[in-house]
């Protein structure tokens, strides 16, 4: 339907007739109804991925080192390696910041550029002071209250980064939480060092010291391998890298974050996205439904208040209602003579002598001929 209406708009812009006349929508509705009657209403519900929870993230990071990967370049996942530190940080940033796979990695054939997140996108706040290039000693001295920050990059909802880039994402540092995002970013910064002059030209998440960017297909393959270590294959197909965004939106809604906060943190421009991704968790849904068992329903609609025996006093003067009644009765056969007869009953203040002039109109003059040749001043 969207494609068809887009074609119609282009035709309209070029002054070419492309009439839809409502038939397309009627036919679509008919076919959908027929399909549902044959296959059931759930058959047309769009297939969408499920969201990752914090428990899923912990299980991913608890994956044993040495996991075999389907890659000749990196045959196994070694956590104490360049890729291991990078992958762990990418998992945590995506979980806490809802980053898309296209923001974390690049598609095949796409070259890294300034439009992507680089090492210069990562910064730290230590004792209230911002550091773009902190030393290892400064990072090792981080305490609770310090933060790691990431500058978002242009995305499909903000292709130039003008809307969301001015608002960085901040992650609180907690050394006692092994899944802490700021902790994992610090580990990547320390164990995968990049010289200051190369920070702009090095992807935020890279494959090796050579600075090759992560690729989307490879990242998706590694994620599936990690998921299979703690869930079945039938369950693993329900999740992709986009599940991090879904999980973040669901978690924010579960803690009753307002819509504007969810939109800002997930970097969405339209509330329509919330209808798709910010879902109600089953535990939250059941909890709310349990609460309604203890509520009494005593609302009353205005029509159900009941009618009184007498109407309120007339709000309009009697002469006004009398004139209205006469006008209604003679609406279909109102002649110039009868109109002039009603003039005297009009309850109006004749400040501009309109009523007087109306009463003085000649019977034969009512109509277009009365004003033929009249000047603008006469009008």
Q: What is the pLDDT of residues 227-267, one digit of tens each?
A: 999 999 999 999 999 999 999 988 988 888 888 888 888 88
Please, what's the largest Cα pairwise distance for the chain? 106
Residue 343: the pLDDT is: 65
Identify the pLDDT of residue 67: 95
Mean pLDDT of 24-30: 82
Average pLDDT of the chain? 83
DSSP classification of residue 129: E
Quote the tokens at residue 239.
């999740």
Beta pairing, strands 169-172 & 147-150: antiparallel
The answer on pLDDT for 197 being more than 70 is: yes
pLDDT, residue 355, reads 60
Q: How confident is the model at residue 200 (pLDDT cuts 50, 70, 90)?
A: very high
Average pLDDT, integer, range 99-117 = 89
Cα separation, 337 vs 166, in Å, equals 74
349 pLDDT tier (thresholds 50, 70, 90)? low
Does the domain at 54-287 match CATH 1.10.443.10? Answer given as yes
351 pLDDT exceeds 60? Answer: no
CA 32 to chain CA mean position, Å: 26
Q: Is residue 182 over pLDDT 80?
A: yes
> In terms of pTM, does the model score above 0.75?
no
Helix (H, G, I), strand (E, B), or coil: what is residue 206?
A: strand
In the chain, domain spans? 2-44, 54-287
pLDDT score of 302? 75
- Strands laid side by side in the 129-131 sheet: 129-131, 122-126, 147-150, 169-172
């Amino acid at each position: 339907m969207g494609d068809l209406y887009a074609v119609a708009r282009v035709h309209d812009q070029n002054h070419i007739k492309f009439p839809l006349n409502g038939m397309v929508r009627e036919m679509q509705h008919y076919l959908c109804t027929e399909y549902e009657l044959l296959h059931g209403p759930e058959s047309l519900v769009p297939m969408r991925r499920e969201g990752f929870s914090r428990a899923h993230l912990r299980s991913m990071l608890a994956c044993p080192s040495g996991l075999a990967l389907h890659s000749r370049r990196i045959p196994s996942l070694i956590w104490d390696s360049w890729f291991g530190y990078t992958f762990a940080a990418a998992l945590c940033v995506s979980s806490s910041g809802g980053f898309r796979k296209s923001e974390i990695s690049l598609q095949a054939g796409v070259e890294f550029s300034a439009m992507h997140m680089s090492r210069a996108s990562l910064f730290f706040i230590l004792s209230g002071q911002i550091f773009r290039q902190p030393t290892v000693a400064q990072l090792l001295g981080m305490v609770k209250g310090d933060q790691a920050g990431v500058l978002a990059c242009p995305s499909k909802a903000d292709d130039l980064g003008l809307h969301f880039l001015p608002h960085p994402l901040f992650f609180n540092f907690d050394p006692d939480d092994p899944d802490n995002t700021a902790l994992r970013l610090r580990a990547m910064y320390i164990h995968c060092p990049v010289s200051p002059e190369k920070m702009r030209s090095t992807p935020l998440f890279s494959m090796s010291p050579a600075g090759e960017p992560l690729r989307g297909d490879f990242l998706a393959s590694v994620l599936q391998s990690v998921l299979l270590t703690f869930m079945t294959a039938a369950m693993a197909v329900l999740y992709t890298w986009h599940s991090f965004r879904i999980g973040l939106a669901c978690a924010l809604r579960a803690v009753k974050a307002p819509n504007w906060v969810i939109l800002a943190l997930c970097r969405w421009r339209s509330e329509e996205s919330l209808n798709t991704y910010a879902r109600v968790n089953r535990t939250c849904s059941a909890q709310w439904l349990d609460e309604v068992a203890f509520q009494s329903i005593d609302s009353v609609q205005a029509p159900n208040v009941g009618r009184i025996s007498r109407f309120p006093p007339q709000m309009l003067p009697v002469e006004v209602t009398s004139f209205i009644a006469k006008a209604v009765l003679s609406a279909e056969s109102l002649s110039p003579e009868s109109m002039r007869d009603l003039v005297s009953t009009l309850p109006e203040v004749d400040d501009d002598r309109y009523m007087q002039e109306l009463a003085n109109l000649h019977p034969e003059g009512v109509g277009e001929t009365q004003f033929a040749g009249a000047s603008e001043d006469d009008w």
